[in-house]
Amino acid sequence: MIDNQPKKTKAYIAGVNLNDPNFDYYMTELANLTEANNMEVVGQSFQNAESIVAGTYFGVGKINEIKTMAKGLKAKVLVLNDELTPVQIRNLEKLTKMRVIDRTELILEIFASRARTKQAKLQVQLARLQYELPRLHPSENNLDQQRGGGFANRGAGESKLELNRRTIGKQISAIKKELKAVASQEEIKSARRNQSRLPKVALVGYTNAGKSTTMNGLLREFSKEAADKQVFVKNMLFATLDTSVRRIDLKDNFSFILSDTVGFISKLPHNLVESFKATLQETRDADLLINVVDASDPNMVQMIRTTQNVLDEIGVKGIPMITAYNKADKTDRNYPQIEGDDILYSAIDPKSIKLLADLITKRVFANYEKFDLILPLSAGKELAYLHDRAQVLREDYQDDGVHIEANIAPADQAKFKQYLA
Ligand SMILES: Nc1nc2c(ncn2[C@@H]2O[C@H](COP(=O)(O)OP(=O)(O)OP(=O)(O)O)[C@@H](O)[C@H]2O)c(=O)[nH]1
Ligand SMILES: [Mg+2]
């Protein structure tokens, strides 16, 4: 086989450990993120310290060591485990003669390269501009160059830095406006789904855990239009950056709305989380969360903690949750199996998907109540409503009306009390 892949940029990764018990895990994530950004990790090192060196992040000795190591390994980029100040980045670039990127920049670059929809692109752009704004430096005249210097005279005494700030400020408000327009369309769609009163189930979890694969599995088993409704699945970090919403029809007319959204990772840049709030709306509105976990990953426990931290940050609390331990086929455990509120399964196994559906049914439809109703023959609309939203168990046309036995959602129970047999 001929390898046409362009050679990947070689990267050296490093960080300061301020006595953090999760440091190793963060470095593993950093390596994965670096690879996800199409670079090859050729080496790594860290420094144990009590505090960060204000001007240079590392101490001088460590910087020299990194420079020598990285040079020997032909690394062109130095990737750092924290968000650095602009001064730290500039100083490190001078001292190491390498391009230096911090963890935030790395995540922003991955998101930028993955964004496909207008909303995702705008959200990433917004996060990036907000990251850049406080980092503008008087010596950077790039705007000036773009405009051939013509703008430099504008507003006597206005420095290039102020001009740059003002321009970025304007871009930020323009993007916010556009995002609002996109979001309000989204809101309309979401309001319609709210009206439908079907229970809402949201897939959440660490990136690459198998959320989208789980959604596709449920669609394959329980949706009539599965073929064109499948969502994008790939073995990479942040394959999904949008929210997809689908209707799932389980047996006996138990239907719910399922959403799949962007995955999480540790230390997600705050601006990015802020920018993606609209995308994460479905998660906040859910009646039940399915926290998909990669049970075959040795870092599973930290990944669960990471997901919980991000959920806290986006303001998700008090929503019932099923922990769904996925990829059981890559472990030596028996699956599928239910363990209390949770499930061990494999999203690529139909039997597993059916068991997951059973578990969802049990949780979501727990408060449904069985009603014996007699609807007048003229109540065609109510009858259609029941068939759409309730679990109709028996239906019998008689002289005095339609006799119906149905499991009805809490929200609809008052509406049908008048027809009780
Ligand atoms: N062996 C195995 N692979 C799985 C299983 N579930 C998902 N995968 C694989 O794991 C990778 C990631 O799956 P996705 O469904 O895209 O994961 P995700 O959680 O949506 O990831 P992001 O959208 O990137 O956050 C893909 O290569 C899937 O084929 C499983 O049960 N078993
Ligand atoms: Mg996905």
Tens digits of per-residue pLDDT, 129-153? 999 888 877 655 444 444 334 444 4
Name the DSSP letter for residue 287: S
For the chain, the structural domain boundaries read: 9-110, 115-186, 198-364, 369-419
- CA-closest candidate to residue 409, choices 188, 282, 257: 257
Q: Which ligand 1 atom is nearest residue 330's CA?
A: 1
**CATH topology identical between 9-110 and 198-364:** yes
CATH class held by domain 198-364 = alpha beta
Spatial neighbors of 38 by CB under 8 A, at least 6 apart, are 8, 9, 113
pLDDT digits (tens, 9 = 90+) for 54-95: 999 999 999 999 999 999 999 999 999 999 999 999 999 999
Is-contact 69 43, C-beta < 8 A?
A: yes
Of the options 3.40.50.720, 3.30.420.40, 3.40.50.11060, 3.40.1160.10, the CATH number for the domain spanning 9-110 = 3.40.50.11060
Helix, strand, or coil (residue 204): strand
Ligand index nearest the alpha carbon of residue 290: 1
The protein residue with its alpha carbon nearest to ligand 1, atom 27, reads 235
From atom 7 of ligand 1, which residue's Cα is the shortest distance away? 210
Pocket lining: 231 vs ligand 1, CB cutoff 6 Å: no
CB of residue 203 inside a 6 A radius of ligand 1 = no
What's the CA gap between 301 and 32, in Å, rounded?
Answer: 17
Closest ligand 1 atom, residue 264 Cα: 25
More confident residue, 312 or 148: 312
Residue 263: CB within 6 Å of ligand 1? yes
Looking at residue 160, what is its pLDDT?
80
Q: What is the pLDDT of residues 185-215, one digit of tens each?
A: 777 777 666 666 688 999 999 999 999 999 9
Q: How far away, in angstroms, is 141 Cα from ligand 1 center?
A: 44
Pick the atom of ligand 1 nearest to 349's CA.
31
Confidence (pTM): 0.85
| Percentage, residues of the chain above pLDDT 70 | 90
Kindly identify the ligand whose nearest atom is closest to the C-alpha of 205.
1
- Which residue has the least CA distance to atom 13 on ligand 1? 210
Cα–Cα distance for residue pair 79/101, rounded to 1 Å: 5
> CB-based burial of residue 318 (10 Å sphere; 0-12 exposed, 13-18 middle, 19+ buried)?
exposed
Residue nearest to atom 5 of ligand 1 (CA): 327
Q: Which of 287, 242, 233 minimizes the C-alpha distance to 260?
A: 242
Binding site membership of 208 for ligand 1 (Cβ less than 6 Å): yes
Closest by alpha carbon to 159, among 133, 138, 129? Answer: 138
